[in-house]
Amino acid sequence: MKVTYQWLKDFLEIKLSADKLADQLTMAGLEVTSLEKCSGDVVFEIEVTSNRPDCLSILGIAREVAAISGVKLGSRCSVFSSRLKTKNLKPKTRLSREQSRENLSLKIKVEDKKDCPLYTAKIIKGVKVGPSPDWLKKRLESVGCRSVNNIVDITNYVLFEYGEPLHAFDLSRLRGDTIIVRRAKSGEKLTTIDADEKTLNSDILIIADQDKPVAIAGVMGGKDTEVTQGTCEILLEAAVFDPVLIRRSRQKLGLQSESAYRFERGIDPQIVERASLRAAALIEKIAGGRCIAARELGRAQSKSRVISLDLSRVSINLGVNIALSRVKKILVDLGFKVKAGRKNIFLVEVPSYRQDLSLEVDLIEEIARIYGFESIPTTQPAIIPKVTRDDRQELVAITQRTLVGIGLKEVITYSLIDKGLLADFGFDAQEVIEILNPLSSEQEVLRPHIIPSLSRCIAYNLNQKQDYASIFEIANIYSASGVLPREELVLGIAFSGVQAMLFEQGAIKEEFSLLHLKGIAETLFKRLGIKDYDFINQGNPETAMIYVNREHLGSMVRLSRAVLDKLGIKNKEIFGLEISLDRVFSHASLKKQFRPLPKVPGIARDISVIFKESVSIKQALARIAEMGKPLLRAVNIIDCYQGKQIPAGYKAFTISCEYRSDQRTLTEAEINPAHAVICKELTERFDARMR
Amino acid sequence: GLIHPNVLKHVGIDSKKYSGFAFGMGVERIAMLKYGINDIRLFFENDLRFLKQF
């Protein structure tokens, strides 16, 4: 909402510069989001919170400024000296038969006073409709309102100034002598001032004459009765409408207006007549004419509220001692009436425009914000928080550290994804949990797998011209199962591209493959103390299942060409891994048992061997380890090779065997037989050929 | 800020005896202040050129 510096000065004396004032308003709870200099004035854009409808006007903000600066609202300023030409024009409450003074009778009929607790109308005759004076046009423009003609402009001016929306009807276009506030009948039509015909129903509150609807109450006027060049007599409406009903009417018709905005949030009934008088006086002054009748129906008074304030609670709640006299001044400056109650108690009467205040703590908050939150000294809390990690968090931390140490980067992708992504990967939408009211089609379902999101992330980074991308994520995946959905913590890893690694021999450019994923998984298992694991190809060389303690916990995959196309990736591969961390952790053991260092050296023997592609290396190594007991201590692959010099359908390995005895240094002679046995086993059982 | 007495009442705590305090800070925003990062969306784009800096 916009207010201007000069307009505020109409209401009170302001010594602060616009910038300083903006700061103070912000610190007191009315955030000034922008300041703009505009032809000799400064426009403040203020964000008014929904609990302060009383601030939706220049007057409201002026009251705040008065409270903050400890100044009184000016009584000499022009706004309050509006006088109507026709003196003693007191509004009449109910229609009486002695309406004879005017040669015009005017009645108000309100169908349901819950819909409209207060309605006032003034008749002004002899107006001349024309353009508004410059000062009026400028002020309206500065708060973002278009100038129409002097009458309409004045109603808008008073809306911004006092926060009470007014409406002017061309009286000659109203049929009958009664202005009626009622619900529309289903099917009734009204063309509003935006030249759009609306069809109404009984959920919508309207102003009507004896024949038909003439305005959507509190929202927008009708085209037929709007004030135009030729208008010479007007009915000036100032009212209070039920906020819920106005909001519903407005939404049903798809309308928005400054009037509706204020009615929805609550109008102070005590401002209604003042605003009406102000507008009538301005109309008389600017457009000529004379106010000849005034009517009022409903209650302008609202019950005053008294809140009891225990002064000792002020210092308890705020943690600072504020002098009694200061507390009293703050409350008085805010427009509250303060009476001393029993000992240490103030009885505070709160004005009708502060509907947001009802409890003692509300008053204490007012005191705090006017005193200044920044004036409350900072102290350290007496609690010292203890940070502890439970086992699971510890395992997650180890996983993160291990993967980052290997060189992967942790990413965070969204838990909500679009169905299209799952379809691209060939996952069926069977047990996928759908959101009933997604914010967008990007966030339709809770993801049942993590690899699609990671693959998308890789695709994004490849598009940023990265040579390679290697990422991981630890997050939940979701699936429908029975009454409650299932949530499972998984680890996802994905990479793509060529990683240059530096070794003593020089730079090596190595393409990523499934074996790299396997290596990373094994490193992680080792770190978590997991020894019994398997990677099993089931016929498809592009995927492998991961088993821990014979339980299937995850898989690794090389994305197919079709999926890569859907992701928009050409010329690159993506490899991904997804494994249930919840279940991996259930097999983890961080216990370590020290093994004494060997006292004597061992002997290493290498075997260069060629296997058929179909042979399981894992089984071969296990067999070697078994057969080589007790002297064979370690068996490792130190090289593997396929390609030139190796016939098709075969793979070559170099296996290193380390022999050692705990008691004595072994000799070659002792090892040879053992080694020969192993080599024989390889050739016979595994059909290997020595190189 | 301080917890509203109505909230304490609904969980059976006497607001005359106890007060409550609650606050929250966006972890991303603190990181933005500390490292001088200018756009919060960077935390969710997972651009490696951003991630590698940390």
Contacts of A410 in chain B (CB under 8 A): 51
Residue A383 has pLDDT above 80, yes or no: no
- B33 — contact with chain A (CB < 8 Å)? no
Contacts of A466 in chain B (CB under 8 A): 48-49
Q: Are B40 and B50 in contact (CB under 8 A)?
A: no
Q: Which among A409, A414, A460 has the least Cβ separation from residue B52?
A: A409
Q: Which among A316, A359, A461 has the least Cβ separation from residue B48?
A: A461
Distance from CA of B10 to the nearest CA of A (A): 16
- A415 — contact with chain B (CB < 8 Å)? no
Q: Nearest chain B Cα to A411, which residue?
A: B46
Contact B5 A409 (CB under 8 A): no
Q: Are A59 and A162 in contact (CB under 8 A)?
A: yes
A residues 454-513 lying closer than 8 A (beta carbon) to B: 457, 460-461, 464, 466, 469, 471
Residue A144 has pLDDT above 80, yes or no: yes
Q: How confident is the model at residue A239 (pLDDT cuts 50, 70, 90)?
A: very high
Q: What single-letter amino acid sits at A156? A: N
Residue A100 has pLDDT above 50, yes or no: no
Distance from CA of B48 to the nearest CA of A (A): 7
Q: What single-letter amino acid sits at A343? A: K
Distance separating alpha carbons of residues A286 and A135, to the nearest angstrom:
11
Q: Residue A165: is the preceding peptide bond cis (ω within 30°)?
A: no
- B49 — contact with chain A (CB < 8 Å)? yes
Q: How confident is the model at residue A94 (pLDDT cuts 50, 70, 90)?
A: very low
Q: How many CA atoms lie within 13 A of A162 on its CB side?
A: 23
Q: Which among B43, B45, B48 has the least Cβ separation from residue A409?
A: B48
Q: What angle do CA A646, A652, A656 make, to 5 degrees?
A: 150
- State pLDDT tens for residues A482-512: 888 899 999 999 989 877 665 555 666 777 7
Residue A381 has pLDDT above 80, yes or no: no
Q: Are A218 and A259 in contact (CB under 8 A)?
A: yes
Q: Which among A317, A361, A413 has the least Cβ separation from residue B46?
A: A413
What would the DSSP string read from start to end of A72-86? Answer: PPPSSSGGGG---SS
- B52 — contact with chain A (CB < 8 Å)? yes
- State pLDDT tens for residues A348-375: 999 989 989 999 999 999 999 999 999 9
DSSP label at A506? E
Residue A275 has pLDDT above 70, yes or no: yes
What pLDDT score does A541 carry? 76
Contacts of A413 in chain B (CB under 8 A): 44, 46
Higher-confidence residue of A660 and A396: namely: A396
Distance separating alpha carbons of residues A611 and A642, to the nearest angstrom:
11
- State pLDDT tens for residues A558-600: 999 999 999 998 888 999 999 999 999 999 998 888 877 888 8
Contact B49 A464 (CB under 8 A): yes
Contacts of A414 in chain B (CB under 8 A): 44
Strand partners, A235: A123, A169
Farthest-apart Cα atoms in chain A, separation:
137
What would the DSSP string read from start to end of A372-414? Answer: -GGGSPP---S--------HHHHHHHHHHHHHHHHT-EE----
Q: Are A576 and A657 in contact (CB under 8 A)?
A: no
Contacts of A409 in chain B (CB under 8 A): 48, 51-52
